[in-house]
């Protein structure tokens, strides 16, 4: 289908974009468009106006500041994939970015768009949760910072208000080892289940592990039970087996034509185990 008719305006600053959001009811931010435009074409949503933020230079780019990586919300997946800074400072993000969609999608899609859309099968929410990212949101009255743990409130739903824009994502830049493993839908590349894991360890002794899962449930989550079973312990295959076996406890997994709930639940356990194995060598 074609989208329903809409007006289009390119904003040249964050302030202008917020002004437009506030003065046009039923307007929507357009960044890469790779979640929004398919929804428009299915007429799942019919905003009266699209506000294009892809030309706002202050929303793009990756820089280091006080030990953190600051990533502009309109930075494309491809820019993150190709960034030496990310490769060095955030192995988890470097592992995840190349796995999104395909290169054409990565040239258009943005990290901010992915996070704001909060698709239950999107990749970035898992990484944001695993690294305890801070999301900076701008509105008419200034900016506010929200922790990833508080950012996703349900399927396709975040704390961003209709007249606000996500401007920056701040993540630790300390080079903590991390990996993203995804069971890809063969057609769309979406995560049937995607697992983001970071692990600090020292000579076979685990410091801190974080495990975040996307694709399995209606909103991405941290597998904190499995994390607690690992933190501070000595690495062993048995420890990792045990922890991973509980990673899907209590989950209400999604069920669709690609995978029934029981399969997703199983995938969570298997993929958590694999990710832990790769990072901790056990």
Partner 1 sequence: MRIDGTFSFNANPEKVWDVLLDPEALKACIPGCQSMTLTGENTYVITLTVGIAQFKGTYDGNVSIQDAQRPDHYEIHVDGKGRPGWVRGVGKIKLVDAGNSTTTVEVEGDATIGGPVFSIGSRFVPPAAKLLMGQFFNAMKKRVEGSAS
Locate tokens 């048995």: which residue? 238
Encoding tokens for residue 62?
A: 């990756």
Cα 171 off chain centre by: 12
Is there a contact between 92 and 125 (Cβ–Cβ < 8 Å)? Answer: no
Q: What are the strands, taking DSSP E only, across 56-204? A: 62-65, 68-72, 134-139, 142-147, 152-154, 157-158, 165-172, 178-184, 191-202
User: Nearer Cβ to partner 1, position 38 or 204?
Assistant: 38
Q: Which of residues 248-277 bind partner 1 (CB under 8 A)?
A: 254-258
| Least spacing, CB of residue 278 vs partner 1, in Å | 28
Site residues for partner 1, 12-71, by CB under 8 A, read 28, 39, 42-45, 47
Please, which residue, 12 or 258, has the CB nearer to partner 1? 258
Binding mask 128-167 for partner 1 (x = CB under 8 A): --------------------------xxxx----------
Show contacts with partner 1 in window 94-133 (CB under 8 A).
118, 120-121
**What residues numbered 206-225 form the site for partner 1, per CB under 8 A?**
218
What is the DSSP pairing of strand 7-10 with strand 49-52?
A: parallel
Identify which of residues 44 and 186 has a Cβ nearer to partner 1 in the complex: 44
- Name the residues that contact partner 1, by CB under 8 A: 1, 28, 39, 42-45, 47, 118, 120-121, 154-157, 218, 254-258
């Amino acid at each position: 289908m074609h989208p329903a008719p809409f007006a289009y305006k390119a904003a040249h600053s964050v302030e202008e974009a917020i002004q437009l959001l506030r003065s046009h009811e039923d307007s929507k931010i357009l960044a890469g468009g790779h979640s929004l435009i398919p929804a428009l074409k299915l007429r799942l949503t019919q905003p009266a106006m699209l506000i294009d933020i892809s030309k706002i230079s202050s929303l793009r780019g990756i820089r280091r500041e006080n030990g953190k990586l600051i990533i502009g919300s309109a930075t494309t997946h491809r820019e993150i994939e190709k960034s030496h800074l990310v490769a060095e400072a955030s192995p988890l993000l470097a592992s995840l970015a190349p796995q999104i969609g395909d290169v054409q999608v990565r040239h258009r899609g943005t990290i901010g768009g992915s996070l704001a859309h909060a698709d239950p099968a999107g990749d970035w929410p898992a990484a944001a949760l695993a690294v305890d990212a801070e999301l900076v949101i701008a509105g008419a009255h200034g900016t506010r910072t929200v922790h990833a743990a508080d950012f996703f409130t349900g399927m396709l739903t975040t704390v961003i208000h209709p007249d606000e824009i996500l401007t920056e994502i701040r993540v630790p830049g300390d080079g903590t080892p991390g990996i993203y493993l995804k069971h890809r839908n063969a057609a769309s590349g979406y995560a049937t289940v995607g697992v983001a894991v970071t692990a600090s360890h020292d000579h076979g002794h685990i410091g801190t592990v974080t495990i975040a899962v996307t694709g399995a449930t209606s909103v991405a989550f941290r597998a904190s039970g499995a994390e607690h079973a690992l933190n501070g312990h000595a690495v062993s295959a048995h420890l990792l087996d045990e922890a991973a076996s509980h990673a899907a406890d209590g989950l209400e997994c999604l069920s669709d034509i690609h995978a029934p709930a029981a399969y997703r639940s199983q995938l969570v356990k298997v993929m958590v185990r694999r990710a832990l194995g790769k990072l901790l060598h056990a």
